[in-house]
Amino acid sequence: MASVFILAPFLLLIILNLPFKFLRRGIAFWLAAGLLLIQILSSALHQRIAAHIPPDLLRLFFSFKLSLDTLALVMLFTIGIVALVALLVARATMATERHKFNFINLLLISLTGMNTTVLVTDLFSLYVFIEVTALSVFVLMAIEKNKFAIEGTFKYLILSMIASIFMLTALAFFLLSCRDISFSGIQAAFSAHSNVALLNVAVMLFLCGLFIKSGAVPFHGWVPDAYSEAQAAVSVLLAGIITKVAGVYVLLRLFGTVFVVSANLQNVIMFVGAASIVLAALAAFRQGDMKRMLAYSSISQVGYIILALGCGTPLAYLGAVWHFFNHAIFKSLLFVNSASLQKKFGSTDMAIITGMGSQLPVTSATSLVGLLSTAGIPPLSGFWSKLLIIIALFSAGKIAYAAVALLTGVLTLAYFLFLERNVFFMRTDMTLESKGGVPLSIKLCEVLLAAITIAVGLGFPFILKILHYTWL
């Protein structure tokens, strides 16, 4: 069954690029949307339908193994939702049909890359598909050939290359020390305690590469430019899911289940997480552009996941996975909000757009949900995942880190309320001209994501029960 998640987008990509003109019209959008809906549904209902699915088709052609565990399902579900939202936003905001079609193609490539990254069970394939995803991102970011977007892409490219070098080097070390670089092989090497020094170096190199990919402080230099200068739909896709899967998911997978992490390294991971939380939140304060502020906020929230990962207890891991999902949802929501501002006023500069709450009631209300959830206000989804992380830190005796995680929530609330006051609640700037209404598809995305945020928050016991069976 797992291979369907990989083959379907790949086949759709090929079909769309067959030389038939009608494929380049609206049909491409509907096909892609249908594909994503199927992905969302099948990952959500996997337990129910697994029995009726024929065995893995891909095995017939390739020899690599896939695994479809709960973590992978959560990822596939999240990928489906965010990609669908990005697709809808792209339909509303992309300038020309050609751009839209290109976007769909690139989305399908990155979807293939992400789905495979989530499903593979060996380190080399993992690396390859991270790169496949990254490749599509470079093109996506530069899709409108905007000068600043290209600058952002360049920065991402450079740092991404450094990350690739780190990871490749690490791969070489793994090959040297374990010979078998499937996850189980690496686990076996760790438990055999042979070549410990080499393995440690490899782990650290891989860690540094992944820090760059996920944009933790101080490896985050590319993040603000990349997120804020990209086209609106690309921002949603990039900030919402791609960098999260390529960086944070891999961290969760490898450092949660595959590698054996020494106490020292745990401390380093936690420190990087805490530094990301605090410094990015502080940096977000000074941002005048909504998307840049969201970018810094994204770094800060990734910090929570990394901090929980470093803590290493099952409860913290559960919190990290859940926060991953929540963050993907509410950060996508906030980027969609910025997209609707961009669409309506042609800017996301908070100095220009003031007091637009009355003109954008849906955007205003949903952004409030998104930012309150980000800041961890009960009963929204962000509150519960942060609560789990803080409880886990506290019970693991990391009280200082728990305090940092807790207090930065105040900081988060502060800069987001600043955003909210400025953009939505202040006196309306009458001189600002509207450049057209917000399309229905964007409104739909906003409402959908806000509804998920609220529903997850309110359905806390139910979701906790599902995740609980898996990790506790």
At closest approach, how far in Å is the CB of 138 from another protein?
14
- Binding residues for another protein, rule CB under 8 A, total 34
Give yes or no for residue 267 binding another protein (CB under 8 A).
yes
Q: Are 68 and 121 in contact (CB under 8 A)?
A: no
Q: For another protein, which is the closer residue by CB, 272 or 307? A: 272
Q: Are 185 and 258 in contact (CB under 8 A)?
A: no
- Which of 234, 366, 345, 368 has the alpha carbon at shortest distance from 295? 234
Stretch that binds another protein, among 266-274, 365-373, 392-400, 458-466 (CB under 8 A): 266-274
Give yes or no for residue 200 binding another protein (CB under 8 A).
yes
- Which of 412, 423, 426, 421 has the alpha carbon at shortest distance from 285? 412
Burial label for 180, CB within 10 Å (0-12, 13-18, 19+), is middle
Q: For another protein, which is the closer residue by CB, 87 or 208? A: 208
Give yes or no for residue 207 binding another protein (CB under 8 A).
yes
- Residue with the two structure tokens 């998920």: 452
Give yes or no for residue 218 binding another protein (CB under 8 A).
yes
Give yes or no for residue 221 binding another protein (CB under 8 A).
yes
Give yes or no for residue 211 binding another protein (CB under 8 A).
yes
Give yes or no for residue 322 binding another protein (CB under 8 A).
no
The residue length of the chain stands at 472
- Which of 282, 448, 464, 285 has the alpha carbon at shortest distance from 369? 448
Give yes or no for residue 424 binding another protein (CB under 8 A).
no
Judged by phi (left if over 0) then psi (alpha if -120 to 50, else beta), residue 182 lies in: beta
At closest approach, how far in Å is the CB of 150 from another protein?
12
At closest approach, how far in Å is the CB of 32 from another protein?
33
Give yes or no for residue 262 binding another protein (CB under 8 A).
yes
- Which of 322, 307, 315 has the alpha carbon at shortest distance from 457? 322
Q: Binding string to another protein for residues 135 to 174, with x set by CB under 8 A, is what?
A: -------------------xx--xx--x---x--------
- Single-letter residue type at 177: S
Using CA atoms, how far apart are residues 447 and 458, in angstroms rounded to an integer?
16
Where along the sequence are the contacts to another protein (CB under 8 A)? 154-155, 158-159, 162, 166, 200, 204, 207-208, 211-212, 218-222, 224-225, 262, 264-265, 267-268, 271-272, 279, 282-283, 285-287, 411, 414
